Amino acid sequence: MLRAASILLLLVVAPLAAAAEEEPTIRNLSAVVEGQKVTVRFSLANGLANGEMVEALEAGLPTSFTYIVEIFRDRPNWFDDSIARARIEVIVTFNSVTREYLLNYRRDRKLVRSETFTDFATLVTRMTNIEERDLFEIGNRQYFKLKVRVKADLMRGWLLYVVPWEISTRWRETRVRRADETP
């Protein structure tokens, strides 16, 4: 009985430990204010580390990353004051006839641009490096009291082919700064 329990525990823990090694993370997050508008830049590391996602993409299935970007006023020891939220979707499909990848870039469910790529490395760069100029309007708020946070929802995974869960990054946040300030 004890042996069966330890084998079951190993079957559950081993895939989780392997997934933690290549965990997707948000990196290089910056939020810069110019006038009353905030520009946000960030990148996603290990976004396509999951082999299933690459296989699904090359099989012609639409593959997407959804980035949630929020700006808020940080209030220590109290609830944060949410100002605005943006949803950025990067959706890619592969055309096996033309051997091209079609990338659709949407902001708040509206199509911003479409691009085609033949080089997979260039496609990955465009999917994982985001720069949104003038993403948020802050009005008369004091920029140094504001923070931006980002997370990415990558795909749905399956634990032991039975239990569904979303593969997401942790929230990453940074203070809003002026362009001439050093972090």
Q: Which amino acid is at 155?
A: M
pLDDT at residue 8, rounded to an integer: 46
**Rounded distance between C-alpha atoms, residue 152 and residue 167, angstroms:** 9
Q: How confident is the model at residue 99, as a pLDDT?
A: 92
Residue type, 51: G
User: Across residues 102-112, what is the average pLDDT?
Assistant: 96
Q: What is the pLDDT of residue 98?
A: 92
As a whole number, mean pLDDT of residues 13-29 equals 70
Query: What are the residue boundaries of the structural domains of the chain, listed by start?
Result: 2-178
Mean pLDDT of the chain: 85
pLDDT for 52: 78
- 66 and 130 in contact (C-beta within 8 Å)? no
Structurally, what CATH architecture does the domain formed by 2-178 represent?
Answer: Sandwich (2.60)
Q: How far, CA to CA in Å, does 79 sit from each of 73, 136, 142? A: 9, 20, 18
Give the pLDDT confidence of 123-182 residue by residue, as tens digits: 999 999 999 999 999 999 999 899 999 999 987 666 677 776 778 899 999 999 998 886
Q: How far apart are CA 176 and CA 147, in angstroms?
A: 5
Res 160: pLDDT:
73
What is the Cα 101 distance to its own chain's centre?
Answer: 19
Q: Looking at the predicted structure, is the pLDDT value of residue 37 above 90? A: yes
Phi, psi dihedrals of residue 94, rounded to the nearest 5°:
-110, 130
Q: What is the pTM of this model?
A: 0.81
Cα gap 177→33, rounded to integer Å = 6
Question: Which range is most confident: 46-60, 70-84, 159-173?
Answer: 70-84
End-to-end CA distance of the chain: 56
Look at residue 50 in the predicted model and tell me its pLDDT: 73
Q: Residue 31: its pLDDT value, please?
A: 96
The per-residue pLDDT for 182 is: 64
Classify each residue of 57-86 as buried b or exposed e, where b means 16 or more C-beta atoms within 10 Å of its C-beta: beeeeebbbbbbbbbbeeeeeeeeeebeeb
Q: Tokens in use for 183? A: 């972090």
Which pLDDT score, from 0 to 100, does residue 153 have? Answer: 92
**Which tokens go with 102?**
């079609």
Average pLDDT for 105-119: 95
For residue 2, is pLDDT > 90?
A: no
